[in-house]
Amino acid sequence: MTPRAMRCLAAGGLVLLCIAAVSQWPWQSWPGGSGTEPRRASILVETEAVEVEVHLVFAAPPDSHPLLHYAEHLAWLSAVGAATRDADRHSNAWTSDRAVGYWLSGAPEDLPDLLETLFGVFDPIDLPREFAGQERDVILREYEHRVAGNPDAQARMAMDAFLYEGNAIAASVIGTPEEIMALDQDEARALHGDTHRPESATLVIIGDVTEREVRSALREVDWPEPEGGHVAFAPPSFDLAAHTKKTLRRSWPKAAPRLLWRRVVALTEPVQFDLLEAQTALLRDILDTNLPGGVAGPLRFDAAVARSFGIRIWPIDEYNVEVGFTAAPDQGVSLTALQTVFEETLAENAETGIPDATHSRVLDRFDGFWPDWEDGDETARWMANYVLDRVSALREPLSEHELKRLDQGLTLEATNALLRQIAGESRTAAAFIGPEDAFE
Amino acid sequence: MIRVLLLVALVTLAACWEDGPSASRETSPGGIEYTLIDLPEHEDVTIHVAWPTDWAYRPGTSKAAPVTGAQVILAGGAEGHPAGEVVERFADLDSEGNIHVAVNDHVIGELTFERDRMAETVKIANAHLRAPTLEQAWFERIRHGIAQNMAEAQARHVHAGFDAVRWAVFGTQPLRNAMSLDEPGTFEALTRDDVAAWHAETFTRSPDAIVVAGGIDAGAAGTALDALFEGLPDSGREVSRESMPDFAPRHMLLHLPYAESTNLAFIAPLPPTRLGGELEDLILVHALGGDDQSVLFDAVRTELRATYGFGAGIANYTREHRILFMTGEVEADRLAEVERVVRAAYAMFREYGPQGSLADRKAPLEASFSELADFVVDQARSELQGALEGHPPGRSLELDDELAAVTEESVMARLRKDFPAAGDFIVIAVSPDADGLPGACVIRVPREAADCP
């Protein structure tokens, strides 16, 4: 979808200013790519946003969940959350399957103060023991808010454990109620001390500030620059466990029947991550259609199998791809039958191949995947999200120049090769949710 | 040389100003009146229409018809446009269309497209408004799906709590079931004829408000509107929106023995936005329960440690009947304590108002308003709401001026005069513990709330 957002570009001078503002600022220049090579420790993305955002991202050590989530709560409270802030400052923290992050936003002229406040994340956790212990109960409330009574969240956690078996990302970030109540604040403080170190952090600054202003602010607060201006971390490695299938049956008598279906496949050849992300997104768009090669015809328009469905395909890394399919069956169609029709359709389409006409037609719609590179403001906003997404996934963002060339890899051959692999050997999990009589 | 550069800069600035956003009241060649928001830098155009309705207020109407009908119109195809083909053609055009019911008083239609794809987009949209297929198969499919989704939602304890409040406020008035869709047989009794009747009386050439926004002049906009409304009936029924909500304070606990968590909510009325004070409301509600620095978050999470998050917001039952709500999931054993703390925190807030600088509290709104013209859809939505409140054309372009006029005094006046007193809330807890809220009217199903004193 093309963003319905474009800024005043009527005056030529403004065009130049906008384009000039779209630049990442590396302390050290590194070629795009992933793997284990060092990452830039600091990245600036200049935008015209009224607020400036400061983000800090750290890698999650293996086997650190759900303790890392507890440590994140405590570190944020200690550094930012427990103190009163001005009303124009916003902040939060997050933990994912592979990283932990903190952010603080405010007026651009307050950048030194924002950095100084966020710097507190490096300091030892300074909270009263009773208060830190109570935060465990708060996380239990968070579990109740996000997971308890939520069949989809519970199914996703079980599917993660099966699909990613043997890998670091298989563990639940929040854990079970029993695991939460067993969290130990001393262990959390120790984990924080081991992981939240300046030499392990990536700093991302997004907003209407210049490289010069950022350098000045960093000097003002004595921000520690890691040796060589880079940090050494990589996304967690992933090795797909044995090819097999599993079906989870979750009886929720009041739930609208639905199928959650996920599959992980190992590619025969690695593909650069950003290109693979674009290729999987294009294939998703094709499968979503009612065109030859899509699944909407057999499922929704030519037959009444699924009254609604959604597809996602995304790379786990350069070697592995995941497919997610969720669907609500039409009246009288069991979840087993729905799964069968979907899998058969996928296999048939892979065997037949995506027709050139379908590929070309969907590719024509695909320009919304990237920004309008001629629109400086839109590009800057897009790059801000992109850079933050990549850093949060412990990956090095590509430059704008490199991103612009990716569309050359969206060929019919690459799309069909990807589809054939997705329909081939895999590790597949299906979850049936709803009243039991909807399952078979 | 410097003078020359300065002159060039001034000329450039003037040119930009001349071509900046503007608003005007226009009439199409076919007699359709509308507001044009000219955003010359955009290639996109969006058309927003608000059709009046009183379907929700009337006894004898099938209350599930609007939500079902809107989806059948959008998904089921139209004269000359089979469902499976038009979905792909619209995607080729990069056009978007949507129909939804807004707070029971209007049906809103939104159509967004690139300027050079206007003719075909509008032609397809007109066919869907004028002659939707409303095929029985699509009707059944969508009716069944919404019924299943609603049944699941009603089984969720937070949803059930708000259903109970609507029983307390509206009792057996038709408007209640239009919002909750929980009367037995609401979906089972719905027929395709009900949807056809709703469609026939709703989509006319006489909406309450129309906004066209984007890179388009009055000539092209008028042509587009005439094509969009071609063949629709001239006018619909005279609407009559009567309801008698009872917001008397009540203290209720919905006992759900198998609930896996406990929720607490406070609900009380606010004046309609047509009377003003909307920006003060936004500032106040954010300070009350908008983020981790808010009054409620501080009281219930940071101090009491009894929740993951406790916040506040504003919702509309209808345009006339807005509500302020404060809600969150709380520790089951501390429900009564949380209720006391929330009430006390709110009372203090109402007495002393938001702390800190008003300028800082305005900053997020200023940022949002300053970027509004970047987004044609958001600009049009804001303008349409202004038009429905009786504002002159261009209100959405002047929100920054409205915000500048907000003062410490106007904020405090709004808080003390128009926000409910701490004792004026309807309180609803949903808990597995029937004794969790001493003195509460304990109910087992939402319907029983109608009888709570």
Task: For residue range B235-284, list pLDDT tens digits in order.
Answer: 878 999 999 999 999 999 999 999 999 999 999 999 999 999 999 999 99
**Per-residue pLDDT, B12:** 40
DSSP one-letter code for A281: H
Residue A376's H or E segment, with its range, is: helix A376-392
Which residue's structure tokens are 């790059």?
A383
State the pLDDT confidence band at B2, using cuts at 50, 70 and 90. Answer: very low
* Secondary structure percentages of chain B, helix, strand, coil, to 5: 50, 20, 30
Whether the Cβ atoms of residue B419 and residue B350 lie closer than 8 Å to each other: yes
* % of chain B surpassing 70 pLDDT: 96
What is the mean pLDDT of the segment spanning B394-418?
A: 97
Six-digit token string for B327: 């809600």
Q: Chain A contact for B360, CB < 8 A?
A: yes
Cβ count within 10 A of residue B355: 12
Rounded to 5 degrees, what angle do the CA atoms B282, B287, B291 make?
105
The verdict on pTM exceeding 0.90 is: yes
Domain B22-229, what fold?
Cytochrome Bc1 Complex; Chain A, domain 1 (3.30.830)
Q: How many CA atoms lie within 13 A of B171 on its CB side?
A: 10
| CB-based contact B155 A254, cutoff 8 Å | yes
User: Over its length of 440 residues, how does chain A's per-residue pLDDT go in tens digits?
Assistant: 334 432 222 222 222 222 222 233 333 333 333 445 577 889 999 999 989 999 999 999 999 999 999 999 999 999 998 777 888 889 999 999 999 999 999 999 999 999 999 999 999 999 999 999 999 999 999 999 999 989 999 999 999 999 999 999 999 999 999 999 999 999 999 999 999 999 899 999 999 999 999 999 999 999 988 777 788 778 999 999 999 999 999 999 999 999 999 999 999 999 999 999 999 999 999 999 999 999 999 999 999 999 999 999 999 999 999 999 999 999 999 999 999 999 999 999 999 999 999 999 999 999 889 999 999 989 999 999 999 999 999 999 999 999 999 999 999 999 999 999 999 999 999 999 999 999 99
Q: How many CA atoms within 13 Å lie on the side-chain side of B201?
A: 16
Q: What phi, psi does A88 have (nearest 5°)?
A: -95, 10
Rounded to a whole number of angstroms, the distance from the CA of B380 to the nearest CA of chain A is 12
Backbone dihedral region for residue A206 (phi beyond 0: left; psi -120 to 50: alpha; all else: beta): beta
Residue A401 pLDDT: 95
Most B CBs within 10 Å: which of A90, A144, A254, as the mutation test of the B interface?
A144
Give residue limits of the domains in chain B.
22-229, 251-451
Domain definitions of chain A by residue range: 14-231, 245-438
**Residues of B with Cβ-Cβ distance to A87 under 8 angstroms:** 287, 293, 354, 356-357, 360-361, 363
Tens of pLDDT, residue by residue over B107-164, are: 999 999 999 999 999 999 999 999 999 999 999 999 999 999 999 999 999 999 999 9
B11 falls in which pLDDT band (50, 70, 90)? very low
- pLDDT score at B19: 67
The dihedral region occupied by B370, where left means phi > 0, alpha psi between -120 and 50, and beta the remainder, is alpha
* Sheet containing B33-38: order of strands: B22-27, B33-38, B209-214, B44-52, B106-114, B96-102
User: Is the Cβ of B98 closer than 8 Å to some Cβ of chain A?
Assistant: no
Architecture (CATH level 2) of domain A14-231 = 2-Layer Sandwich (3.30)
Is the pLDDT confidence value at B390 over 80? yes
Q: Cβ separation of B142 and A307 shorter than 8 Å?
A: yes
ipTM above 0.95, yes or no: no
Cβ–Cβ < 8 Å for B266, B327 = yes
Flag whether residue B303 sits within 8 Å of chain A, measured between CB atoms.
no
Top CATH class of A245-438 equals: alpha beta
State the average pLDDT for chain B.
94
Maximum mean pLDDT: which of A221-230, A367-376, B18-27, B168-177: B168-177
Closest CB to B42 among A6, A290, A377 = A6
Give the sheet arrangement for strand B426-431, strand by strand. B307-316, B322-330, B262-270, B426-431, B251-255, B441-443
Identify which of A11, A84, A255 has the shortest CB distance to residue B16.
A11
Residue of B nearest to A365 (CA): B92
User: What residue type is A257 in one-letter code?
Assistant: P
CATH code for residues B251-451: 3.30.830.10
Q: Name the residue among B264, B319, B441, B417 with its Cα closest to residue B50.
A: B319
Q: φ and ψ at A103, to 5 degrees?
A: -145, 155
What band does B300 get if pLDDT is binned at 50, 70 and 90? very high
Give the contacts of A186 (CB within 8 A, at least 6 positions apart). none
pLDDT in the model for residue A7: 27
Residue type, B305: R
Contact across the interface for A289 and B356, Cβ inside 8 Å:
no
| pLDDT at residue B352, as a whole number | 97
- Amino acid letter, residue A163: L
A394 contacts A201 by C-beta, under 8 angstroms:
no
- What token pair was written down for B421? 């007193």
User: Up-side HSE of residue B378: CA atoms within 13 Å toward CB?
Assistant: 14
Report cis status (omega within 30 of 0) of the bond before A66. yes
pLDDT in tens, B423-450: 999 999 999 999 999 999 999 999 999 9
Q: What is the mean pLDDT of residues B353-367?
A: 94
B13 chain-A contacts, CB cut-off 8 A: 11
Pairing relation of β-strands A427-434 and A245-251? parallel
pLDDT for the residue numbered A37: 58
CB-based contact A141 B329, cutoff 8 Å: yes
| Closest CB from B41, B88, B261 relative to A148 | B261
| A314: three-class secondary structure by DSSP | strand
Report the candidate in A259, A386, A270 with the shortest Cα–Cα distance to residue A329.
A259
In a 13 Å sphere around the CA of A73, the CA atoms on its Cβ side amount to: 25
Nearest to B145 among A139, A302, A308 (CB): A308
Closest CA to B361 of B299, B411, B308, B432: B411
Q: What is the pLDDT of residue B267?
A: 98
Is residue A278 within 8 Å of A369, Cβ to Cβ? yes
Q: Retrieve residue A155's tokens.
A: 């199914």
pLDDT for A29: 30
Kindly report the number of other CB atoms within 10 A of residue A269's CB atom. Answer: 8
- Residue A225, pLDDT score: 80
Q: Point out the residue among B141, B261, B331 whose CB comes nearest to the CB of A137.
A: B331
Is the CB of residue B111 less than 8 Å away from at least one CB of chain A?
Answer: no
Identify the bridge partners of residue B47 per DSSP, sorted by sequence position: B111, B212
- Contacts of residue A135, defined as CB under 8 A and 6 or more positions apart, other chains included, come to A70, A73, A74, A77, A127, A185, B305
Mutate to test the interface with A, among B374, B431, B445 (most CBs of A within 10 A): B374
**Which of A5, A290, A308 comes nearest B88 by C-beta?**
A290
